[in-house]
Amino acid sequence: MPAAGPPAAALDPSWVTADPTPLAPDHAQRLAELSALDPALADLYRRGAELLAGAADVAALHERQVALLGRERGIVTRGLAELPSLPVEARKVRGRGLNLIKRWLSEIEAARRLVLERAAETRETIDVTLPGRRPWVGHRHVLGRIRDELLDLFHGLGYSVYESPEVERDEYNFTKLNFPPDHPARDAHDTYFLTDDVLLRTHTSPGWVRAMEERKPPLRLVFPGRVYRAEQVDASHMDQFHQIDGLFVDRNVSMADLKATLNAFARAIYGVEARTRLIPIYFPFVEPGCQMDVECSICGGSGRVAGEGGARRCAVCKGTGWIELLGAGMVHTEVFRAVGYDPEEVTGFAFGMGLERIAMMRYGIPEIRMFLENDVRFLRQF
Ligand code: DAH
Q: Give the tens place of pLDDT for each residue, 58-112.
A: 999 999 999 999 998 899 999 999 999 999 999 999 999 999 999 999 999 999 9
12-26, 29-43, 83-97, 362-376: segment of lowest average pLDDT: 362-376
Query: Within 6 Å (CB) of ligand 1, which residues are found?
Result: 203, 205, 245, 283, 286, 327-329, 350-352
Between the CA of 327 and the centroid of ligand 1 the distance, in Å, is 5
Higher pLDDT, 4 or 309: 309
Q: Whose CA is nearest to atom 12 of ligand 1?
A: 351
Q: Which atom of ligand 1 is nearest to the CA of 203?
A: 4
Q: Give the tens place of pLDDT for each residue, 201-253.
A: 999 999 999 999 999 999 999 999 999 999 888 887 899 999 999 999 999 99
Q: Mean pLDDT highest for which of 81-85, 114-118, 283-287, 355-359?
A: 283-287
CA 282 to chain centre: 44
CA distances for 376 relative to 135, 184, 343, 379, angstroms: 15, 41, 49, 5
- Tell me the domain boundaries of the chain: 27-123, 142-379
Q: Give the tens place of pLDDT for each residue, 149-183.
A: 999 999 999 999 999 999 999 999 999 999 988 88
> Is the preceding peptide bond at 165 cis, omega within 30 degrees of 0?
no
Tell me the HSE value of 298 on the side-chain side, using a 13 A CA sphere: 23
Between the CA of 267 and the centroid of ligand 1 the distance, in Å, is 20
Q: Which atom of ligand 1 is nearest to the CA of 246?
A: 12
Q: Which atom of ligand 1 is nearest to the CA of 352?
A: 8
Between the CA of 369 and the centroid of ligand 1 the distance, in Å, is 22
Q: Which atom of ligand 1 is nearest to the CA of 286?
A: 13
Give the H or E element holding residue 246.
strand 240-250
Alpha helices in the chain (DSSP H): 27-37, 39-54, 58-69, 75-82, 88-122, 142-156, 170-173, 206-214, 255-270, 333-339, 355-363, 370-373, 376-379
Q: Report which of 101, 139, 111 is spatially closest to residue 55, judged by C-alpha positions.
A: 111
- pLDDT for 4 equals 55
CATH architecture group of domain 142-379: 2-Layer Sandwich (3.30)
Q: Whose CA is nearest to atom 3 of ligand 1?
A: 203
- pLDDT for 5 equals 63
The answer, as to whether pTM is greater than 0.85, is no
